[in-house]
Structure 1
Amino acid sequence: MSVTLTVHDTLADAPDPVRADVWALVCEADDAFWPPLRARTPEQGLSVGAGEVLDDEPDAYWASIQSHALITAEEGGRVLGMMSVARDKRLDALDLTASAYLSTLIVSESARGRGLARQLYARLFDLARSWSEAPNVATRTWSTNAAHLPLIAQLGFEERLRLKDDRGVGIDTVYFLKPL
């Protein structure tokens, strides 16, 4: 079976079965993020304070990405991977506006190792080129994200800013940019 990449203008506009699959991916991957997605809020962004009380589910994070563009990798009517992308996102930390800001990338554990993340990135790069005359893609992650850091290095992202211990002792927030 082949994988189909689909772009939705916003997560909120995606069909209900796609939204349900994406919600399941977000819940499945919640603890794979640092901090967990259920600890993030639109008002606070990352929330990693000592003794932080986590929500039961990543509802606030889910609400915060509803206006983002959604790219899905689907096979057999099931979403196996997703990207949420904010267009024309102002990143004060980098003093720039990114034509595409990758907020979330998730590939189901059962579909990892098949190149889906790379395919999603290729589609994102095409979209960013169509969105801007001077396209670039930005993202941020944590310094111990062993799954994502090698891929973004291979794809040519450049580290632009490192906020030491921003996510806890020994865990930096790292911003990356890729001009296209």
Structure 2
Amino acid sequence: MLQLDMVQQLTSKMETCSSLEEILQVSFHHLSQVLGNQNIAVHMKMNKHTDFQPAVMHKRSVFDEDTWKSRHRQIRLDYENDLLFQEAIQGKQSILVPDVELDHRPCHNACRQFGVESMLMLPLFVEDFAIGVIIVVGIGSKFLYTSDQIEQAQTIANTTATCLLKHVR
């Protein structure tokens, strides 16, 4: 019942938003409350013919959005060959990496560039089409989340994807 209440409240807030960025900031705010971490961003794919790209970052993240995007351009992350990114998309489920150095799937160069020590990947799907992945990162420290926190976070991501679809239609 709590999950349903959360979805209804979140949907209500998102439906009053006038832009995709506003919807994402509402999502990031709720994710940060559930996870206790404000280092949240989304990589999005706006249509079937474009690649994923850094899109929006939580306004309270340790990085500013321009620096974050600029650094991604320098790194040139290859989403098609990034094992972790592809696993999140193909598996259509969240993935927790408690220690990026001990896991072969993340792009270690990108993790080092940003100081990422742990990450949670939350895929965004609309009608079976992956529109993005919300990534919550531990910068300078590792974050561990309970299965309940991860489930709530994925529910927020799913609600966000639905509201993004409604907004663009």
* Same-fold call, TM cutoff 0.5: no
TM-score (norm 1): 0.29
Q: Which structure shows the higher helix fraction?
A: 2
Relative contact order higher in (CA < 8 Å, ≥ 6 apart): 2
Larger Rg: 1
